[in-house]
A and B are shown apart, each in its own frame.
Chain A
Amino acid sequence: MKRHGVDAVMKPLLILVSLLVLLAGLVSLWTLGSRAPDAIPGPSVDALLDLDFGAEGFTEVAADRPVRFPADHGAHPEYRGELWNLFGQLNDAQGGRYDFQFSLTRVALAANPSSRASEWAANAIYRGRLTLIRSGETGVRSAERLTRAALGLAGSGSQPISVWIEDWSLSNPDGVPERPRMRLVAGGDGPALALDLDAGKPPIPFSDLGLLGGDVGGPGFQAYLLPRMAAAGTLTLDGETRSVEGQVWLDHAWGTLPTGGGQIGLNRFAIQLDRDRELVCLQLRREDGTGTPIPACALILADGRVESFRRREIRLEPFERWLSPRTGVRYPVAWRLSIPFLELELEIVPLARDQEADDAVRLWSGAVHAKGRLGGEAIAGNGRIETTAELAAPSGI
């Protein structure tokens, strides 16, 4: 019997907002379009955006579209937005440790390239952001790139598979589809990186994680993770270049743009643990902290299998908040997680408190360290948390 209205309405939900955090870079770019862009140096987003910023004509992600490799490692220009987000830990030979995040975001302005003759008439804007925390230092170093795809200043393609913004790029020179090798280059005067990345695990479609309904990556967005890539290359800080090695996690997502509506906040946790395991959790919650927060977690095992856990099997609570002196908003930055079925208990603490991603979007995106126990044995790991701001409960409701 054909499925009809009854079941269609009850079908497990696909929430676009669930990717709000995964797509932090995308959201920040998007919201800059409608909010104050003061924090961004160089050409403002407003200046880059056309006023006729319509959503028509873009491809929407079909619910049953499979993730395909190697094609999906490349760019998806037919979709409205796309994000490449890499983070990880690097170590140098002298025992120095560096936690970084490197993200490249593309937002298309119109489905078809403009016919205007202007040199700015490219149909997408690109934003890059690099943050780095050096162990032993306070504070976060950062660098940004923001430009409209024009004059070859930024772009992306499938052949060869690459995305670039000025002197920043991520390319996919070779490797088998399920175990790609990539090269990350972030040049310039700020922290600069040149890393060869070699996949240690096959890519995992976000929809296989079973988070918040199982098909959060359905219509709206599609995404995959490539955790635990072996990284080797150089890091340049204050003009000094050193060899580094480490482990890097890639998120790659594409689709329509999140609208990031009203009352909802979302937190994401992505941690590379010892014993070749990775943990991904999402927590949906009301911005004002009322109601029941809804966590969902997935543990990726050494062989790539995924174990998913739901709200009632998870305890996930913040135990420290940080008040941003710039925006005056509060973020939950340190967390306790337990999943009794796994005998997993973790304390997740930030490497620095002040890791507010962007003044304009009220998002905290920070490197964290985790330690605790799994199955009766000690375990530790490193990763990132993205969390939206906590608001005071509205009065009179």
Chain B
Amino acid sequence: MVFDIRYPLFHALLILPTLVLFGCDRDPTGKDGVFKAEVGEIPASPQRPGDPDTGYDALLNRSVVTCGLPYGAYLKTRGAAQDAGPQFPGRTGRNAELPYMLTSYVAASGVEIVTSNCLACHASTFNGELVMGLGNAFLDLTVDPLIGIEAAAALVEDGPEATEWRRWADRIGAIADYMMTDTVGVNSANNLTLALMAHRDPETLAWSDSPLIEPPPQTPLPVSVPPWWNMGKKHAMFYNGEGRGDHVRYMILASTTCTDSVEEAAEIDAWFVDVRAFLASLQPPEYPFAVDRALAERGGAVFEKTCKECHGTYGETPTYPNRVIALGKVETDPELARKGFSDADRFLKWFGRSFYGELSQAAPALGYVAPPLDGVWATAPYLHNGSVPTIAALLDSRSRPTFWRFEREGDDRPVYDELALGWTYRALDSGKAGAMSWDERNHIYDTSLPGYGNQGHTFGDDLTDPERLALLEYLKTL
């Protein structure tokens, strides 16, 4: 008998807008263990060295999350009965048989479990190829993870298997309401991580079934998963640049679903140093379609004039300014930055008191980092909340759809639009309020909702049509 169980995908690594301590004299200023940063340049922080090759192997074969579905029960699911799908080279042992976003782990009880890994959010396909580090813009976090997890109990044997299942199910049960989004494609890992913090003692990391500090709101703000290949250039993680200091400690926050002691966290931290080294070495994919080189060259000149001040320069000797742009200047949806700056002090304190904050300092700024644009053509939809479906629309705010959805059949990928640079979408006459079914509602991107706004970043509005066309061509070369 075959069951179709949906996995909770609760482990985005790199998108937490939160967090903390010590650091440079000139930058963030602190009060009561809470630090805030000014907008502008983010200074570099030393990173612990690691081995990228070892890190790649660990990323593909080791578990950062140590609870999950017992393998025996997994085998009874529809997912297990099907082809595991595309695979990254280097998956070994049992992992070679599992879909790339799942990792096998043998728990202390001896029960083999199947856990989620980083790649559910941080890998995706483009033009039929699986791309490491490409944010998954089609992940569906609107589905209630508890249905699949609780139903999986019917597949679990009594005894140690049931105990492992129960541990996993109870953890997800505590955080499910903080991770469910109302739009397919947007990510909630930031909110999820805050919810996990609320359930843990910052000093011992011991789990508490009831929250120890006030949890975050149950309506996650939408976040687009940024590409991993920018890690090497970025001084700070997260859209508001708050992830300063050692990056590994932020990355392993993704394990906090089931990391119940400082010793366990330290063990993961030790091998994740190599994973970070791999991520910092990651290069963007090459644009797989034709590029008009002459037109791209003219576009390069437009870029020099319009974009490089914030986004840097590319080519032989690239530069990247690592700047947080003030909300008043970028004018994109302010909710995420405001909430991270003003409503997150309890989480900033938690982080600062914890193992995770020992080498890092969370210092939110009231603005957004202008990201590096390497491989930007692959990373639609755009802005921190994924509200703008194509680069063409990003460069002309008048053409941005207020309500839209990807043009696709079921769970298929939309066709890539080589003119506009993004996934094919359809503009709609009405937002979620006009939807006739849950499925329809969940697939509508409604920019009138709080946090979903598509305003701002109007820097391309004054370009002429030929300039914009040339600029689009240039961006294909990055």
Residues of A within 8 A of B (CB): 1-18, 55, 210, 212-214, 218-220, 256, 259-264, 284-286, 290-292, 294, 308, 310-312, 397
Contacts and interface: CB of A to CB of B under 8 A. Distances in A.
Contact of B3 (A7, A15, A260, A290): A15
Contacts of A12: 4, 6, 143
Nearest to A213: B147
B173 interface: yes
Contacts, number: 150
B412 interface: yes
Nearest to B409: A3
Contacts of B438: 210, 214, 308, 310
B85 A292 contact: no
Contact of A284 (B99, B125, B151): B151
Nearest to B74: A9
B156 A1 contact: no
B147 A15 contact: yes
A15 B153 CA distance: 11
Nearest to A55: B1
Given A5-B86, A8-B79, A9-B102, A15 B173 contact: no
A8 B154 CA distance: 20
Contacts of B143: 10, 12, 213
B154 A263 contact: yes
Contacts of A55: 1
B157 interface: yes
Given A3-B410, A261-B156, A262-B154, A284 B147 contact: yes
Taking each of B4, B177, B411, which has the highest tally of chain A beta carbons within 10 Å of its own beta carbon?
A: B4
A40 to B, nearest CB: 25
A1 B125 contact: yes
A2 B409 CA distance: 10
Interface stretch (B162-170, B258-266, B390-398): B162-170
B2 interface: yes
A311 B144 CA distance: 8
Contacts of A219: 2, 4, 78
B429 interface: no
Interface string B80-106: 001111100000000000011110000
Interface string B230-246: 00000000000000000
A397 B162 contact: yes
Contacts of A263: 153-154, 156, 162, 165
Interface of B: 1-7, 9, 77-79, 82-86, 99-102, 125, 128, 138-140, 143-144, 146-148, 150-151, 153-158, 162-163, 165-166, 169-170, 173, 176-177, 180, 218, 410-413, 437-439
Contacts of B411: 3, 7, 11
Given A12-B6, A291-B150, A312-B144, 13 more contacts: A1-B412, A4-B85, A4-B125, A6-B86, A8-B79, A9-B102, A13-B147, A14-B78, A219-B2, A264-B153, A285-B150, A291-B169, A292-B146
A294 B86 contact: no
A14 B3 contact: yes
A262 B150 contact: no
B86 A4 contact: yes
Top 4 A-B residue pairs of the complex, sorted by shortest distance between their CB atoms:
A5-B85, A261-B154, A9-B79, A4-B85
A394 to B, nearest CB: 8
A5 B153 contact: no
A322 to B, nearest CB: 24
A214 B439 contact: yes
A264 B73 CA distance: 14
Given A6-B101, A9-B79, A262 B157 contact: yes
13 contacts: A1-B125, A4-B86, A6-B100, A9-B102, A10-B139, A10-B143, A13-B6, A13-B151, A14-B3, A213-B6, A291-B169, A294-B147, A312-B144
A256 B2 CA distance: 11
Taking each of A9, A214, A259, A312, which has the highest tally of chain B beta carbons within 10 Å of its own beta carbon?
A: A9
A263 B9 CA distance: 23
Given A6-B100, A311-B144, A311-B146, A259 B82 contact: no
B176 to A, nearest CB: 7
Contacts of B78: 8, 11, 14, 219
A214 B437 CA distance: 11
B154 A260 contact: yes
Contact of B83 (A1, A4, A16, A218): A4
A13 B76 CA distance: 13
Nearest to B83: A5
B122 to A, nearest CB: 13
A284 B86 CA distance: 33
A255 to B, nearest CB: 11
A3 B411 CA distance: 7
B409 to A, nearest CB: 9
Nearest to B124: A6
Contacts of B82: 5, 8-9
Nearest to A310: B144
A1 B147 contact: no
Given A6-B99, A260-B154, A311-B146, A16 B1 contact: yes
Contacts of A218: 4
A219 to B, nearest CB: 6
A93 B218 CA distance: 54
Nearest to B169: A291
B208 to A, nearest CB: 16
A326 to B, nearest CB: 25
A124 to B, nearest CB: 20
A180 B176 CA distance: 43
B432 to A, nearest CB: 14
Contacts of B173: 291-292
A8 B102 CA distance: 13
Contacts of A210: 437-438
Contacts of A4: 83, 85-86, 125
A285 B147 CA distance: 10
B413 A17 contact: no
Nearest to A296: B147
B100 A17 contact: no
Nearest to A308: B438
Given A11-B78, A284-B147, A290 B170 contact: yes
B150 A292 contact: yes
B283 to A, nearest CB: 23
A6 B411 CA distance: 10
Contacts of B144: 294, 310-312
A284 to B, nearest CB: 6
A19 to B, nearest CB: 12
Contacts of B2: 219
Given A14-B78, A15-B3, A291-B170, A261 B155 contact: yes
A305 to B, nearest CB: 10
Contacts of A3: 410-412
A194 to B, nearest CB: 39
A9 B410 contact: no
